[in-house]
Amino acid sequence: MTASPELRPFRSLAWRLIRRIALLALLCMLLVGGLHAALDYRSSLASFRSLMHVIGTTSVPPLSAALWEVEPELIREQVERLAALPEVAQVRVRMALDEPIQAGRVAVDEAEPPAVSLPIGPPPGLGGGPLGLLDIWGDTRHFGEVALHRAVRIVAGYGLFIVMVCVIVAWVLRRELQVPLQQIARFAAQLQPNELSRPLILERRVRPSVDEIDMVSQGFRQLQHDLSGHIDRLDLLVAERTEQLASALDEVKRLSLTDTLTGCPNRRSLDERLPRELERCRRYGRSLSVIFADVDHFKRVNDTFGHVAGDQVLREVAARLREQLRERIDWMARYGGEEFVIVLPETRLPAALQIADRLRQLVRNRPIDADGAQVHVTSSFGVAEYRGGDEAADQLLARADAMLYQAKAEGRDRVCPAL
């Protein structure tokens, strides 16, 4: 499994490229140096053989004269002079009757053939057969040392050239690759979500053309622009979705607090809102009255005309009661079944009684068109005024409800106040 980038050590890309370039250059140097050394060896070997032949040829005339005049010391001097040459290992002059004269710096194997073997004839103008034989062995060690020194110089030259090239390439890579990439990496690491509009500026000289670093920089700027636009669109989308969600929540809350049949606030809304109304009355010393309303004999309406007609009757009664209330001051809630609670802020008991009686007459005097049938209904009302102090909402409603039951007990179609 590959380790994550955070756990792996940092290695400069420029340094990695330099190492690879140096390794490849070294391999090329060895290959070219070896080939050059092999060719140079062959050339040097041919030159060595040619040199041995030249040395031998130039040495034959003096030896010929010395052999003709039979001067051994002169022959030995000439042999030692030849043996003193750095290219020569051994020199031997073989004569027909005398022992051979031999000299040299390096011992050679007698079985090894000489590099040059030349007959020594008589001096010019004198006839006769060969006087002797000149054998010369080359110093292969000296030849190897010369070839090695030349190979070392060649390799050293190539090595120096490679070092200079690597230094120049390292400088160019650092300037043109490593420094811009480090700038991009630092910019990306320090970039914050709220800084996407901050431009990426590379410290590079202006060029007449665009290279890969410029393309990476342009791609990064394009990515910033796209991300910024995407985030803006996301913000708008989130704001839009939030608004839709808030609207949906408001609608859910409204539906949870609204009676679906009559459109009035329901019992839950009454339980939440009435205590706040009473708290306001206590704080500012204001009055408030509550009317408990009930449709008389509603079960009889359902049994006679059906539940659909009964629902229409409830909707119409609620609409008539709501029409008589003060806008944005009074409010009404469906308590349950055919019962309604009307809350009258800033209203004392006498005024509340008048309102209740007007509502009673409005329900009684006009029939309701329910599913094609004309239905006459009446309603009963219990009225109570808030006493202040520690009276709670359920206590106030209980007093108004008690008056409603009293109105029903007294024959319905009437209003009973809690005195």
Rounded Cα distance, 414 and 358, in Å: 11
pLDDT at residue 401 in the model: 96
Please say whether the dihedral angle defined by the alpha carbons of residues 61, 67, 71 and 75, taken in this order, is positive or negative. positive
Indicate whether 290 pLDDT > 90. yes
CB 324 within 8 A of CB 359: yes
Indicate whether 1 pLDDT > 60. no
Residues 27 and 129 in one domain: yes
pLDDT at residue 6 in the model: 54
Residues 30 and 140 in one domain: yes
CB 331 within 8 A of CB 265: yes
Integer CA distances (angstroms), 363 to 137, 221, 322, 414, 415, in order: 149, 74, 12, 12, 13
Percentage above 90 pLDDT, the chain: 36
Please say whether the dihedral angle defined by the alpha carbons of residues 136, 142, 146 and 151, taken in this order, is positive or negative. positive
pLDDT at residue 362 in the model: 95
pLDDT at residue 97 in the model: 63
Confirm whether 158 is domain-assigned.
no
Q: In what order do the strands lie in the sheet with 116-120?
A: 101-104, 88-95, 132-138, 116-120
Confidence class for position 108, pLDDT limits 50, 70, 90: confident
pLDDT at residue 153 in the model: 81
Confirm whether 89 is domain-assigned.
yes
Q: Whose CA is closest to 259, among 269, 271, 249, 251?
A: 269
Average pLDDT value for residue range 164-184: 79
Residues 79 and 218 in one domain: no
Residues 275 and 350 in one domain: yes
**In which domain, by residue range, is 26 found?**
13-103+111-144
Residues 252 and 272 in one domain: no
Number of domains the chain contains: 3
Indicate whether 50 pLDDT > 80. no
Query: Three-class SS of residue 196?
Result: coil
pLDDT at residue 10 in the model: 64
Rounded Cα distance, 392 and 385, in Å: 12
Average pLDDT value for residue range 94-113: 76
Query: Three-class SS of residue 370?
Result: strand
Residues 236 and 309 in one domain: no
- Residue finishing a domain among 144, 166, 199: 144
Residues 52 and 23 in one domain: yes
Average pLDDT value for residue range 50-77: 74
Compare 119 and 285 and report the one with higher pLDDT: 285
Residues 301 and 228 in one domain: no
Compare 406 and 88 and report the one with higher pLDDT: 406
pTM score: 0.49
Compare 239 and 399 and report the one with higher pLDDT: 399
Confirm whether 177 is domain-assigned.
no
Indicate whether 174 pLDDT > 60. yes
The residue to which tokens 């049949």 are assigned: 261
Rounded Cα distance, 62 and 79, in Å: 10
Confirm whether 27 is domain-assigned.
yes
- Residue finishing a domain among 256, 287, 313: 256
Integer CA distances (angstroms), 378 to 46, 307, 351, in order: 142, 18, 21
Compare 25 and 2 and report the one with higher pLDDT: 25
Confirm whether 157 is domain-assigned.
no
Indicate whether 338 pLDDT > 90. yes
- Residue finishing a domain among 228, 256, 284: 256
Helix (H) or strand (E) holding 219: helix 212-256
Rounded Cα distance, 60 and 133, in Å: 9
pLDDT at residue 8 in the model: 64
Confirm whether 186 is domain-assigned.
no
Average pLDDT value for residue range 255-275: 91
pLDDT at residue 112 in the model: 79
Q: What are the backbone angles phi and psi of residue 335, rounded to the nearest 5°?
A: -80, -30
pLDDT at residue 394 in the model: 95
Pick the catalytic residue: 99, 272, 323, 338? 338
Helices 179-190, 212-256: axis angle to 10 degrees equals 10
Indicate whether 305 pLDDT > 60. yes
Indicate whether 5 pLDDT > 60. no
Strands 415-417 and 379-385: parallel
Compare 53 and 377 and report the one with higher pLDDT: 377
Confidence class for position 272, pLDDT limits 50, 70, 90: very high
Rounded Cα distance, 101 and 113, in Å: 17
Confirm whether 261 is domain-assigned.
no
Rounded Cα distance, 113 and 136, in Å: 9
pLDDT in tens, 110-141: 677 887 777 877 777 666 667 778 888 877 77
Mean pLDDT taken over the chain: 83
pLDDT in tens, 218-261: 887 888 778 878 877 888 888 888 888 888 787 777 777 899 99
Rounded Cα distance, 319 and 19, in Å: 92
Integer CA distances (angstroms), 377 to 267, 333, 334, 404, 417, in order: 23, 20, 18, 16, 22
Rounded Cα distance, 2 and 402, in Å: 82
Residues 18 and 135 in one domain: yes
Chain centroid to Cα 410, Å, comes to 82
Percentage above 70 pLDDT, the chain: 92
Residues 390 and 288 in one domain: yes
Compare 389 and 279 and report the one with higher pLDDT: 279
Confirm whether 250 is domain-assigned.
yes
Q: What are the backbone angles phi and psi of residue 272, rounded to the nearest 5°?
A: -85, -35
Compare 23 and 67 and report the one with higher pLDDT: 23
Q: Whose CA is closest to 418, among 288, 112, 90, 406?
A: 406
Decide if 338 is catalytic. Answer: yes
Indicate whether 107 pLDDT > 80. no
pLDDT at residue 128 in the model: 66
Residues 252 and 128 in one domain: no
CATH number for the domain that contains residue 401: 3.30.70.270
Of 240-249, 278-287, 333-342, the least confident: 240-249
Rounded Cα distance, 335 and 266, in Å: 6
Indicate whether 187 pLDDT > 80. no
Helix (H) or strand (E) holding 101: strand 101-104
Residues 292 and 233 in one domain: no
Of 90-94, 96-100, 198-202, 236-240, the least confident: 96-100
